[in-house]
Amino acid sequence: MPRRHQSGELDWTGRITKQGDGTVRKLLYEAANSILTRSLETLALKTWAMKIAKRRGLKKACAALARRLAVIMHAMLGDGTLFQA
């Protein structure tokens, strides 16, 4: 979760924080790592994360993919839909 700073008209986001359940964070990171390093399928999420990996490195891409997975799962829980790759 990115840290958010707000003051008057200024609004900026900072680095990713370590808030929340540590076990869930680790599991999301492992899932993202598996998608990036072990998956042989061409998934849209993997393609997106590999573009980030070329610019920023594999670890940051893995963290970005873990966050994206968390956002997707949160939306799925909210409206009861199934995951569609």
Q: Can you give the pLDDT at residue 56?
A: 95
pLDDT per position as a tens digit, 15-60: 777 888 899 999 999 999 999 999 888 899 999 999 999 999 999 9
The string of DSSP codes covering 24-78 is HHHHHHHHHHHHHHT--S--HHHHHHHHHHHHH-HHHHHHHHHHHHHHHHHHHHH
Residue 62 falls inside a structural domain: yes
Residue 10 falls inside a structural domain: no
Residue 4 falls inside a structural domain: no
Residue 33 falls inside a structural domain: yes
Residue 2 falls inside a structural domain: no
Predicted TM-score (pTM) of the model is: 0.79
Q: Can you give the pLDDT at residue 5?
A: 72
- Structural domain range at position 54: 22-85
Residue 48 falls inside a structural domain: yes
How many structural domains does the chain have? 1
Residues 6+ apart with CB under 8 A from 18: 25
Residue 8 falls inside a structural domain: no
